[in-house]
Structure 1
Amino acid sequence: MASNASPLHVVRCVCLLLLAASASATVAARRHGPAAPVAGQSMYLAPSCRAHTASLTDFGGVGDGTTSNTAAFKSAVDHLSQYSGEGGGGAMLYVPAGKWLTGPFNLTSHFTLFLHSDAVILGSQDMAEWPIIDPLPSYGRGRDKIGGRDASLIGGSNLTDVVITGANGTIDGQGAMWWSKFHQNKLKYTRGYLIEVMHSDTVVIANVTLVNSPAWNIHPVYSSNVVVQGVTILAPTHSPNTDGINPDSCSHVRIEDCYIVSGDDCVAIKSGWDEYGIAYGMPSQHIVVRRLTCVSPTSAVIALGSEMSGGINDVRAEDITAVNSESGVRIKTAVGRGAYVRDVFVRRMSLDTMKWVFWMTGNYKSHPDDKYDPNAIPVVENISYQDVVATAVNTAARLEGIQGAPFRDICIANVTATLAKSRKYPWTCTDVEGVSAGVTPSPCQPLQGSHDGACPFPTDTLPIDQLVLQQCAYSVPAI
């Protein structure tokens, strides 16, 4: 990281300025109900504007960074949930400037959590404040440990129309304690995530900064109509499993204009683990990733899998920038996963300092237990990459399918990878089939099938792109 400090700093500053420009700088007065913005108001995006508002301080919140606000958050959400029914107009909980220490708490429906630009929600360092919850049924166990898992800092289940947003305020998981215990094998349960919303419809996370998550940052699971927009995610690049955004068994997801520095994949699309994911049978599909900037020296910019046993299909990624990351696009699967990764379309990537531009593997052997079906062979097909420029690359691609079940219908077009050092074999290919055109260095033989010079990219509009977020105005009285 040190050798890239200056360019990374510039990229980060530019991205943060762009994000800050989409939210107002100051919150000055409190009001009830939506109205046209006037001086002193903040704007935020939401599926619908809220009719009722309250501040965390109304429920005893203390923003000194040391007082626990777990009870205050729970009391506030419980009180505001009375407006979550039809006709109630929904409610907003305003988090003022300050440092608000808390354990995990859940959100409610027709609800907005709004953070002032100088608000910081801090994850409690008292592990007793983190309830233990059941493992996800599509995983059969926790990812770190067999059995249950710690709750996520901000969570919710069976919700409709829930928003986490603000004037680029911060949610800080204070993950160093968790990372240390993980490395020392001192955890009894799987680490919680920063944000996890389950079994929900219409979820928006926008214009917030997430830092130092114990593990994954944003984890929508078994949900639909999810928008993650204008979010900054930061974690030390050596921190374990601090994935950025992980849609998991989700449909109709839009990820755009996000900046991520991570100790793991910046975006990882998942759908359950081996026999548990096969039994649950809920795919991730119709997912759009746009204008993503990523730094992840040990992992992928965009990963599909390795837990993909419910299937992954129709993923569209475009206008992706990455610096100092392990691989641009990585597909991870294994015998025992079953299901499929198909119809993946990627275009317009700008990559610098990469280990691999593309990486596919059918030999990712991480399993939840020894009960997986050795005959559950995953299908990987119809994968398209085009319009990619990569510099300072170690190897152009590492593509390793499954013997007897090759990854097929791979299309690569208009791709240039400039190698950091001369390589006798810039491509590694086994058990893959496909076509290519305009690719430098020349791809391996199994990908040299000819075609018309362009790879497919869908032209239809997905329903998630028709989800319109309203401009809502909000203000609070000066303290």
Structure 2
Amino acid sequence: MLYVPAGRWLTAPFNLTSHFTLFLHADAVILGTQDVTQWPVIDPLPSYGRGRDHAGGRYASLVSGSNLTDVVITGNNGTIDGQGATWWSKYKSGKLKYTRGYLIELMHTDGVFISNVTLVNSPAWNIHPVYSRNIVVSGVTILAPTKSPNTDGINPDSCSQVRIEDCYVVSGDDCVAIKSGWDEYGIAVGMPSEHIVVRRLTCVSPTSAVIALGSEMSGGIRDVRAEDITAIGTESAVRIKTAVGRGAYVRDVYARRMRLDGMKRVFWMTGDYKSHPDDGYDKTAVPVVENISYQDVVATGVWKEAARMQGIQGAPFKGICMANVTAEMTKERKVSWNCADVEGVSAGVTPAPCAPLQGTHAGSCPFPTDTLAVDQIAVQQCSYSITIPATTSVALQGRPSNSCFLAVLSN
């Protein structure tokens, strides 16, 4: 364990190791340096082929790790501050040569537990597990100005068995974004995001979604379960973003018990999200979107439209199910549903959905009843009682019988 005591600790990007806990005191603040030259430039992700902001490499994330096992980032709600304002300004003015780093990125890792910390002002995405499995993000607060660029909250990317629960996110982009690679690069890697549960999430994001699927989804996304979701002043609830060239699929997505207030729109799907890494994408790689369920949704203060659901001509989004859904519009509109190339059923939906979604059904939509393996994950806790002078830095070099390791920072 590395214990970070009360104080402000300025650092360049650093790596974690396996079987390791980073523990933050309640008054501890880890500060990412604003000196861009201290952030190493690393290779792009294989499933993206380039950085998201720029072609070529990308800056390392503040807290990183690769090929690890059993990593814990936790504490008494201490803070990791990316001091992102410098990055946002340089990004907006075109002064960066590489893609911005993230606050936390763990690659090829089995066993990630992030809890009871506050993340603020990330240069871009906050939590980015990629090519990893058995991930729990619980009780995390994420804060960024709502106009900050691409400060997504939690972005599992080509990951399996993910549990996101009891988190509060205010951001300038999606609160949760599930991804799996970009066009031909994501297709080549072929690593889906799957078996993901999001529960008891509170989101504020005026320009983006509570939960987004894509737009980079070329390895596939399946078995996503969202429940007990709250959103305030957010652009949309569950948003599916894809395009010809992405290939793969988004299927078996289930959302229930959502309470939404002050939304631009409730449901949003698009098959024409035009962003591509380069011109080498396969124009015949048509994504499949199917089996998407929404139930027990109450939205108030919807000011634009109840839904914008636009699939792909010749490859409609199929198997959409809606039940017990209410979207209370701030103004009466001639058209509150904007639909094309979608097919589905509905029951108890107000205002009445567009004709392609008016197929009848028994009055409820499916939601899985099985338990995911990630719900069985628990963290083994251990403790020490030691006395260390305030001016001393100590590491317990031996490996105690309960396999815990402790290091203490000092002023």
TM-score by length of 1: 0.80
Given residue 168 of structure 1, which amino acid in structure 2 is its aligned partner?
N
User: Counterpart of 2:296?
Assistant: 387
Measured after TM superposition, the shift of residue 128 of structure 1 is 1.5
* Aligned pair partner of 1:407 in 304, 307, 317: 317
2:308 is the alignment partner of 1:398? yes
* Aligned pair partner of 2:58 in 122, 125, 149: 149
Measured after TM superposition, the shift of residue 474 of structure 1 is 5.3
> Could you tell me how far apart the structure 2 residues matched to 1:128 and 1:427 are?
49
Cα deviation digits, residues 47-68 of structure 1 (max 9, x gap): xxxxxxxxxxxxxxxxxxxxxx
2:124 is the alignment partner of 1:202? no
* Aligned pair partner of 1:467 in 377, 399, 403: 377
> Could you tell me how far apart the structure 2 residues matched to 1:472 and 1:441 are?
54
Measured after TM superposition, the shift of residue 106 of structure 1 is 0.3
Cα deviation digits, residues 420-454 of structure 1 (max 9, x gap): 11111110110000000000000000000000000
Unaligned 5+ runs, structure 1: 1-91
Given residue 413 of structure 1, which amino acid in structure 2 is its aligned partner?
A
User: Counterpart of 1:325?
Assistant: 234
* Aligned pair partner of 2:31 in 112, 119, 122: 122
Measured after TM superposition, the shift of residue 473 of structure 1 is 3.6
> Could you tell me how far apart the structure 1 residues matched to 2:313 and 2:385 are?
61
Measured at CA, do residues 96 and 467 of structure 1 come closer, stay the same or move farther in structure 2, by a change above 3 Å?
Answer: same
Q: 3-state DSSP class of the match of 1:288? A: strand
Measured after TM superposition, the shift of residue 98 of structure 1 is 0.5
Cα deviation digits, residues 74-96 of structure 1 (max 9, x gap): xxxxxxxxxxxxxxxxxx00001
CA RMSD of aligned residues (A): 0.8
Matches within 5 A, 1:312-351: 312-351=221-260
User: Counterpart of 2:395?
Assistant: none
2:124 is the alignment partner of 1:215? yes
Cα deviation digits, residues 409-429 of structure 1 (max 9, x gap): 000000011001111111011
Unaligned 5+ runs, structure 2: 391-411
Given residue 121 of structure 1, which amino acid in structure 2 is its aligned partner?
I
* Aligned pair partner of 1:137 in 27, 40, 46: 46
User: Counterpart of 1:45?
Assistant: none
2:345 is the alignment partner of 1:435? yes
Given residue 331 of structure 2, which amino acid in structure 1 is its aligned partner?
K
Measured after TM superposition, the shift of residue 477 of structure 1 is 3.6
User: Counterpart of 1:426?
Assistant: 336
User: Counterpart of 2:362?
Assistant: 452
Measured at CA, do residues 258 and 474 of structure 1 come closer, stay the same or move farther in structure 2, by a change above 3 Å?
Answer: farther
Measured after TM superposition, the shift of residue 471 of structure 1 is 4.2
> Could you tell me how far apart the structure 1 residues matched to 2:249 and 2:126 are?
25
User: Counterpart of 2:399?
Assistant: none
**Larger helix proportion, structure 1 or 2?**
1
Given residue 226 of structure 1, which amino acid in structure 2 is its aligned partner?
I
Cα deviation digits, residues 129-161 of structure 1 (max 9, x gap): 100000000000000000000000000000000
Matches within 5 A, 1:201-350: 201-350=110-259
How many corresponding residue pairs?
388
2:285 is the alignment partner of 1:367? no
> Could you tell me how far apart the structure 2 residues matched to 1:132 and 1:477 are?
40
Could you list the structure 1 runs, at least 4 aligned residues long, displaced by more than 6 angstroms after superposition: none
Identity %: 80
User: Counterpart of 1:8?
Assistant: none
